[in-house]
Amino acid sequence: MTQPSQVQYQVMWNRLISVVEEQAQALVRTAFSTSVREAGDLSAGVYDQSGQMLAQAVTGTPGHVNAMADAVPHFMRRIGVENMAPGDVYITNDPWEGTGHLHDITIVTPSFYNGKFVGFFACTAHIVDIGGRGFGADANSVYEEGLYIPIMKFASAGTVDKTLTAIIRGNVREPDQLIGDIYALATCNDIGHARLAEMMAEFNLPDLEGVADFILSNSRRATLDRINALPQGSAEGQMVIDGFSNPVTLKVRVDIEKDRILTDWAGTTGLDKKGINVPLVYTKAYACYALKCAIAPEIPNNAASLAPFEITAPENSIVNAVHPAPVALRHVIGHMVPDTVYAALDQLLPNLVPAEGAGCLCNFQVSLRPRTDAPAPAHARRSEVLTFNSGGSGARPGVDGMNATAFPSGVMTMPVEATEQVGPVIIWRKELRPDSGGAGRQRGGLGQYMNVGAQDGHEFDIQAMFDRVDHPALGRQGGAMGGATTIAQDDGTPMNGKGKQFVPHGRIVEMAFPGGAGYGPVSERDMDAVRRDLAGGYISVDAAIKDYGMAPADAQAIINRAASGEAF
């Protein structure tokens, strides 16, 4: 057989990326959960025989993809490659051998071509319910957080384990939805395998060894070139955030050295009693993502492009939780990891990284049921509704922050229509939050207002998963902080930023999600940008006057023009 050329290998690399993207899109189209269908909270990838990730889908989150990069070797160790056969499908939601908490299902499928084992396809999706206390921070150990599925076979030689599916169905609140999601995960791997087989036939490949070597060697070399072009040095970054009962301090030292970048989380707060702790695999996922975004964003994600970024953290710190620590809301802390890394990186590579943003997703889950304070109507029913939402991202050195856009997760905000379709929930308000973006030469991205209630005849528990209530995003290089998170019932009853809380029949929960911080001195902001923000409703007249020094008469004139529909 003739050895493929470098050009052919590059075509194959591009093809693999398109294969896993089709794998991911198949999951989006077939999943039952709105968290997958609408928010894209998933990952998909292809791996070589040794379990090294060769390509990942563009659709998905770094927390899933980068964590899943380490998952396949665990499957190989637990199952044994010698025990794998065509038609096998493996499953787990192990937080330490999967993607960080029980609410993620990871499916791994060995890929055989012409009877020969050639690699793996893997995918992950967040599922709405896994039993236990539900998706929230209230548990005291992982045992309370839901059903644990060790690495095992979901299907053996094409036959699904009905005993396993019966156990799963008997332990979750949304059994049809969860089993449907597992089948969707398995199916998307099958689609990836089918497209891989087509590619291998087209290029007459007996295995993936040649293309794997091309991908990994070129990715490693390109990443090392980027690292070695940077000035070597060391700096520390720190962030203080709400935590659960007490504030959490994230502390990191970043060392840029030859052929590698180290991040050491010594000095970070220890384990929390509640479920906001983070397994190291998830901390590693977001620390690597932060560095890669800043240093080598164009190099595709794979095992080799991630390898030069080394992550260490003290055992039983909040960013290196070990079993049986509660970890359900590991994303609340994990999504703050990149901005903490950037606090250090800003000292080493100035004018490169953004200001702090909202960080963690502004998620909440509503557990609805027939009202208990009075007779409930016949149509009242139980339902679990999970919705993904975003605050604003931090301003960048040369560009304003993005409004209501999730960084670092990249998860999409769910449409109101999709949320209301899955249960008797009503979203009364969802709009951008003026003045929540921190002032600066570049303005931070806006957060959102969101009000949620239930249809008549229902009461509900809301699982709040918020941060930035007491510790809003901080600006960089002189920029102002973003707006803080607020949450309360419409009668003024205060509510906590985290935890399950009861909402009586007829009450509405009013939330304001945080804004991103500003970048650079506000005195350097272009006044035309201020005028556009005012005309577009991003800032108020008071903010234009107080924060940006606009004359009151000029501010009012802009408002009048905008109200009359006059072009700005």
353 within 8 A of 294, measured Cβ to Cβ = yes
Backbone angles phi, psi at 504, to 5 degrees: -65, 165
* CA atoms within 13 A of residue 324's CA, in its CB half-sphere: 9
435 in helix, strand or coil?
coil
At 344, list the tokens: 């250090």
pLDDT at 371: 98
User: In whole angstroms, what is the distance from residue 365 CA to residue 386 CA?
Assistant: 4
Bridge partners of 255, per DSSP, are: 234, 262
Cα torsion 76, 78, 84, 88 to 10°: value is -100
User: What's the predicted TM-score (pTM) here?
Assistant: 0.96
Q: What is the CA radius of gyration of the chain?
A: 24
Q: Which residue ranges make up each domain of the chain? A: 6-220, 354-525, 527-568
pLDDT at 1: 57
pLDDT at 95: 98
pLDDT at 568: 58
pLDDT at 563: 82
pLDDT at 561: 86
User: In whole angstroms, what is the distance from residue 496 CA to residue 132 CA?
Assistant: 21
User: In whole angstroms, what is the distance from residue 16 CA to residue 13 CA?
Assistant: 5
User: In whole angstroms, what is the distance from residue 184 CA to residue 188 CA?
Assistant: 6
Residues of the chain with pLDDT under 50: none
Q: Helix axis angle, 162-169 relative to 175-202, nearest 10°?
A: 140
pLDDT at 257: 98
Q: Beginning with the edge strand found earlier in the chain, give each strand of the sheet holding 42-47 in spatial order.
A: 53-56, 42-47, 116-126, 104-113, 89-92, 152-156, 159-160
What are the helix (H) ranges across 159-261? 162-169, 175-202, 209-228
User: In whole angstroms, what is the distance from residue 400 CA to residue 393 CA?
Assistant: 9
